[in-house]
Structure 1
Amino acid sequence: MKTVLITGANRGLGLGMVKYLTHCKKSQRIIATCRNESEELKQLSEKNHNVTILHLDVTNFSGYDNLTAQIKNIVGDQGLNLLINNAGITTKFTKLGLVKTEQLMDNLTVNTVAPIMLTKSLLPLLKRAAELYSGEAVGVERAAVINMSSVLGSIAQNDQGGFYPYRCSKAALNAATKSMSIDLKKESILVACMHPGWVKTDMGGKNAPLDVDSSVAGIFNTIENLGEADSGKFLQYDGTEIPW
């Protein structure tokens, strides 16, 4: 049974991912982490024996070792096949004259530092999965880290300015993703960052053109088809490559 860990799984895109995987025909163990479990996530866990909810505040770095130990108890010797660093925050419409230090620091902590440090903590479990499923396998058949980024983190496509906290944190996450892909290549761990599209969530807003189900289906279809040549890339949910 393949194991998938999703951070920020209590609502929005993360919850949509859990829903998608529970309806997926493939046998998968789903570990959903969040600060506060929503009623919908709780119900999903109660109805699906393969869904486990673990408490995680991604800003509580001292708790990562304990989380890793909990996951090790769940997966045993099978390792972790797919880590989706999805938890994130945004500060909208921030122009230079109004941006605050705490906004920058909060966005960088959650959107950049947390994915790096959580990946570091879970690396032994990812390596174990890679050892078991290396070779011809692609996507979640092997070990992979997917960092959920945003087109707003693209420097090449920034033609509107503003959004300093969010843009900077996602651009930094993209840089970290590229470094991870190089550092973990010898371990056969694939790493990519992905833009989910502009999605109707609490973060994306009601005017977003894309619904959660369509975004999530595209994300997992893209993940399933990833190969070694895709490691280190910045991809849209439909597999289209985005310029840095």
Structure 2
Amino acid sequence: MPVYCITGANRGLGLEFVRQLAKSPDNTIIATTRSMSNDLSDLKAVSSKTTHILECNTADLTSIQSFASETKKTLNGVQIDFLLNNAGVNSVPTQNSLSIGPDDLHREIDINVLGPAKTTEFLIAQDLLPQNVRIMNMTSGLGSMSVGLSIAPRKCATYSISKAGVNMLTVHQSGDLREKLKGVVVICMDPGWVKTRMGGEGAVLEPEVSIGGMLKTVHGLGEGDNGKFYTYTVEEVKW
């Protein structure tokens, strides 16, 4: 039975990951939410008998550490085959490079970059990631320098900067993690402009299409994919 760990699973793309994966009784799913006091009705509605809902606030290192410890107890000797670092925020999309709020930028880097970095680190410390684990860091086309140059007017400055950080995190993890996990494959992935609360007005892509494509990509990863940047269409993205 493959084991999936999905951060930020109570809404948006994370919720759709759970919905699709929960269709198979063979899948064990660790689905996280920032707080157990959140409205979890949608998540519970799509969960399977082998879905475990745990708290993990990826902006809080203590919360991530507690989550890793709780996951170890929950899995009871079983390891995670697919780590999907999905949790993220785009809290100030109207800011551009001339109006960046320092606190806003720090918050987005804490959640979007340090969050997946420390989640991965603390899960390794609990011996929850096997040698051939597949790790996906959720990024965005807005984190691509090449894509960014083609957008006019440019938008979501703080979010874009944080997602460029996710991309560089992925590059570093693809090398650093191999010192501990010889068969690990780490990628970052652009889900496209998806019709979720974060996607906002103008989004064009249905969640089931985006997540279906991302799962196809993740399930097909091989040794040669380590450190690459993909989109949900299984195409490689320029940095």
Match for 2:45: what amino acid? Q
- Identity level (%): 33
Q: Is the 8 A contact 2:9 2:18 kept in 1?
A: yes
Q: Is the 8 A contact 2:142 2:163 kept in 1?
A: yes
Q: Is the 8 A contact 2:96 2:158 kept in 1?
A: no
Shift of residue 98, structure 1, vs aligned partner? 2.3
Q: Is the 8 A contact 2:123 2:129 kept in 1?
A: no
Distance in 1, Cα, partners of 2:85 & 2:185:
14
Indicate the SS of the match to 2:199.
coil
Report which of the two has the higher share of helix: 1
Q: Is the 8 A contact 1:200 1:209 kept in 2?
A: yes
Match of 2:44 in 1: 42
Shift of residue 38, structure 1, vs aligned partner? 2.4
Match of 2:85 in 1: 85
Q: CA RMSD in A?
A: 1.6
* TM-score (normalised: structure 1): 0.89
Structure 2 residue runs without a partner (length 5+): none
Shift of residue 230, structure 1, vs aligned partner? 0.4
Match of 2:171 in 1: 178
Q: Is the 8 A contact 1:80 1:125 kept in 2?
A: no
Shift of residue 79, structure 1, vs aligned partner? 1.0
Distance in 2, Cα, partners of 1:225 & 1:173:
22
Distance in 2, Cα, partners of 1:56 & 1:242:
30
Alignment: residue pair count = 230
| Alignment partner of 1:230 out of 194, 207, 225 | 225
Q: How does 1:1-244 map to 2 (within 5 A)?
A: 1-24=1-24, 27-35=26-34, 36-45=38-47, 48-90=48-90, 91-124=92-125, 128-130=129-131, 142-159=132-149, 160=152, 161-186=154-179, 187=181, 188-244=183-239
Cα 1:2–1:216 change in 2 (3 A) is same
Indicate the SS of the match to 1:30.
strand
Distance in 1, Cα, partners of 2:110 & 2:171:
18
Indicate the SS of the match to 2:188.
strand
More deviation, 103-112/65-74: 65-74
Distance in 2, Cα, partners of 1:172 & 1:126:
26
Structure 1 residue runs without a partner (length 5+): 131-141
Indicate the SS of the match to 2:134.
strand
Indicate the SS of the match to 2:13.
helix
Indicate the SS of the match to 1:194.
strand
Shift of residue 85, structure 1, vs aligned partner? 0.7
* TM-score (normalised: structure 2): 0.91
Distance in 1, Cα, partners of 2:129 & 2:106:
34
Shift of residue 205, structure 1, vs aligned partner? 1.6
